[in-house]
Chains A and B, each alone.
Chain A
Amino acid sequence: MEPTPIKQYTKEELAASKQQYGEQVLFEVHQKIYPRITNGWFSKWRWVLVWFTQLIFYGTAWLNWNDRQAVLFDLTSRKFYIFGLVIWPQDFIYLTVLLVISALSLFLFTSVAGRLFCGYACPQTVYTEIFMWVERKVEGDRNARMRLDNGALSPRKIALKFAKHSIWIGIALWTGFTFVGYFTPIHHLASEVLAWALGPWETFWVFFYGFATYGNAGWMREQVCKYMCPYARFQSAMFDKDTLTVTYNAARGEPRGSRSKHADYKADGLGACIDCGVCVQVCPTGIDIRDGLQYECTGCTACIDGCNDIMDKMGYEPGLIGYNTEHAMESGYTKVQMWKRVFRPRTLIYTGILWTIIIVAAVTLMNRVPLKVNIIRDRGMPRVTETGAIDNVYKLQVMNAEEQKVTYDIEVEGIPGIHIANDHVVEVPSATDRSVPIRVEIPAGSAEPGSNKFRFIVRDQSDTKIVVSEKAVFLVPH
């Protein structure tokens, strides 16, 4: 019988069909994947990255800097503290720069070696790795887990599942707690948790982020990468024929087939692939890399480690599955030739732009003046005094981005005889802003009627480098 398309058949078509007919579900039922453990060079690197990213994530929140948390995103007072740096809403450009740097890094790494981020550093990968480690410790490796899931409900099964989920939920809640700890001081948050006195929003976010961690790393796993993550779908635009991707060397491997360890497989007309299926068993997204590059492949390299292990046992050369490029496969490049092509115009241009932006951003960040001034001219001005002098009044919002009390001198320049007629020394406490009324006066006849440009100069009394010069206009009546 011929396979038929999946479509809605009319009654006539069904009546004419000699076949039986029945229902087809149009939604894919989730097949649980039981990835087998891998040990190897790449798996070790992934664990290095897991430790590196998670020590930063779980650890940084607990560090202190002077009298405050070292990294704290204080949303209510709209200030981001990053070690010695205090970022104000006016510094929003740095967030843009950070995003540009992230995007360009993604372009660069993807064009060099595909989904490096997905395979090693993506939170989805990292937390899944941690959760799978727990799962392995509690339930055992692939075969034990499959046996447990297929077996009947037993006290042992309940106990193991309970233990696994308890540990998962514990990790997830700790992750949620740490996440919230970047927005509300974590030491304070910890004491609130101990006193059972979390605020409603803190509670919500701890549980929400915890739930997302538990759900995504415990249950959703590869479904996130396959169906939810947009990056998987657009990165092929960044691949080219010299991009290193996890590749099965079909020329060497085919025809695949089982054989005795000591047989001369070449004489038997076989390739190096013994068709043991390990590359499929270790794959966390459940694909067969031997079918070629697929969008489901996150570049996790588990199949490389799995296959190399088998090759080693068989006494074959490793690298049947490995990082290769499409060009290298087609033209039979050597490793050296292939790696040389990493330095191609595309990657060099990405690298050049990336470093330019990083250096410019670093230089501007280092030379950033931790003082900002907004000038608001009073309406209802100008004012003519008894002596004929002309007054304009301004409200100066002086923002001190340093973490110490600073005294500023305010000066004006740009019109003959211009001066400040009231107190022009302003003290601003650490990392706050203050609005001060400033009365600027010019003698009669020193400026044309209408609008006259001049400048406010605000300088730190104790540090000559901290100076801000702002434009303003002075109105003279007709």
Chain B
Amino acid sequence: MADFFNEWWSIWISILVIVSIVGCGVLLWSQTKITVPLGADGKPLTDGTTGHVWDGTLQESNNPLPRWWMWLFYITVVFGLVYLALYPGLGSFQGKLGWSSAGAYNNEIKAGEAQYGPLFNKYLAMPVEEVAKVPEARAIGERLFLNTCSQCHGSDAMGSKGFPNLTDNDWLYGGDPATIELTIREGRHGFMPPMGAVIGTDDDVRNVANYVLSLSGAPHDPIKAAFGKPKFAACAACHGPEGKGNQAIGSANLTDKIWLYGGDINTIMETINKGRSATMPAHKNLLSDAKIHLLAAYVWSLSNVGGLEAIDKQSKK
């Protein structure tokens, strides 16, 4: 219990609480009856006022509270003591029931899993390709995507600068169902080291950038590209001699026109000079296996037209 520096404060608060609650009861009891003069018949001989007079004539009448109301006050005193015995509240005493807000939260999570788990789990046994064909599963996947993935990859999954487009057939690490699932589960850390110093001068970098542009047939300066080609050897270690990339290490394919950070000459030079580093967080602790499975199916379906057509046919039936 780290709420207090030492046990004394817990005891101090407990004393304050108990004394306050019991004090309320004692105060109420002490104010229940008073001693007054009696009449000849032995009953209190009262004039219905409290004896307080202001401005000579303004008197305070006695308007007694009903007795059942008084009992309600005693009930609150008893309730307070019983509550403090059962639930946390008395210093660091946790209560006899052992209730805690974290425990209540965990119970609700458990109840939620029990209620909705079967809905997700029934797809766990099916291959991703089959899951993607079920419209209901795709709808679940879409909702999971909008909740979990769209913040980076966009609501339409087409990504933006630094965040890959998931609807094309270009994959840094591979687009087969198992790899997609692995990517979601374990996350990825994409890293390209700064290559400026290795390649040489600023002109060398510009030449290499032109060569990189030539790989995908983008507009470039052929002479500079020719100068850059030998220097590309430094890049080939990761991107391959033909610049087609390597999914095993997540290096980008430079021969398509898809650019994660931008395909103009300045951005490519910036990438070469400064390198790039990007993280996709691991989701294994955030999402259940079944949810990851459903997400993988949704993401896979986005770039597999054959799969989509099958889904369309399914929904039209």
State the A residues within 8 Å of B (CB).
Answer: 1-9, 14, 17, 19-30, 223, 227, 378-383, 386, 391, 393-395, 422, 435, 437-439
Contact = CB atoms under 8 A, between A and B. Distances in A.
A380 B34 contact: no
A416 B9 CA distance: 69
Interface in B94-153: 143, 146, 150-152
Top 4 closest pairs, chain A to chain B, by CB: A5-B51, A437-B155, A3-B47, A19-B37
A223 B66 contact: yes
A6 B31 contact: no
Interface in B1-43: 31-40, 42
Given A9-B35, A21-B38, A380-B154, 6 more contacts: A6-B62, A21-B36, A22-B35, A27-B65, A227-B69, A393-B156
B80 interface: no
A421 to B, nearest CB: 9
A395 B150 contact: yes
Contacts of A5: 46-47, 49-52
Contacts of A380: 151-152, 154, 160-161, 163
B154 A27 contact: no
A437 B34 contact: no
A27 B51 contact: no
Contacts of A22: 35-36, 38, 42, 44
Nearest to B69: A227
B51 to A, nearest CB: 3
10 contacts: A4-B37, A5-B46, A6-B46, A23-B33, A28-B65, A223-B66, A223-B68, A380-B154, A383-B160, A435-B155
Contact of A391 (B67, B150, B151, B158): B158
Nearest to B39: A1
B257 interface: yes
B154 A393 contact: yes
A390 to B, nearest CB: 11
Which of B36, B39, B44 gathers the greatest number of chain A CB atoms within 10 Å?
Answer: B36
Given A223-B68, A378-B150, A422-B156, A20 B37 contact: yes
Contacts of B157: 437
Nearest to A7: B51
A379 B161 CA distance: 11
Contacts of A7: 34, 36, 50-52
B70 interface: yes
B64 A28 contact: yes
B286 interface: no
A469 to B, nearest CB: 21
Nearest to B257: A386
B64 A26 contact: yes
A395 B142 CA distance: 12
